[in-house]
Structure formats: structure tokens, C-alpha cells
Amino acid sequence: MIQVTKKDAKEPTENLIRRFTRKVQQSGVVATAKTAQHFEKPISKRERREKAITRRERKAVKLKKIRLGQK
């Protein structure tokens, strides 16, 4: 549980919200909640690596075509 309190009575609410959001971002609470939002089947390390390699290759081909002026 992340808690943020006012430093003094004169501190603006915007600063308090800014400090809170920064702490939430640094703790990684939002990132873990987003990854847990949808169930993903566990795949092997090898399969994940192969898919990543394929993605990189496709992206490289796509960028090469763009640089050459093709579609």
C-alpha cells in the first residue's frame, strides 16, 4: 500500500498527486496490474525467443522496404 502525506499545510494538492503517481510508477503496481489483466498461456523460453527473432526480422524487412520507397 502506497501512502503519501502532505509535507506541510501549504503544500498544493497537485504536488501531492504528482508525488503519489511517481511512487506508484516506481513501485511497478500499475505494470503488474496490466500484465495480470489478461491471462496468457505460459510458453517455453525457446518459443518466446523464436517469436521475438521472427518479429525482429519482419520489422527489419518492413523498415528496409520503407527506406527503399516501396510499400
Apex 56 CA angle, 50 and 59, nearest 5: 140
Mean pLDDT of the chain: 89
What one-letter code names the amino acid at 53?
I
Residue 40: is its pLDDT beyond 80? no
Q: Which pLDDT band holds residue 9 (cuts at 50, 70, 90)?
A: confident
Q: Cell numbers for 14, please give them.
A: 497537485
Residue 69: is its pLDDT beyond 80? yes
- Model-level pTM? 0.48
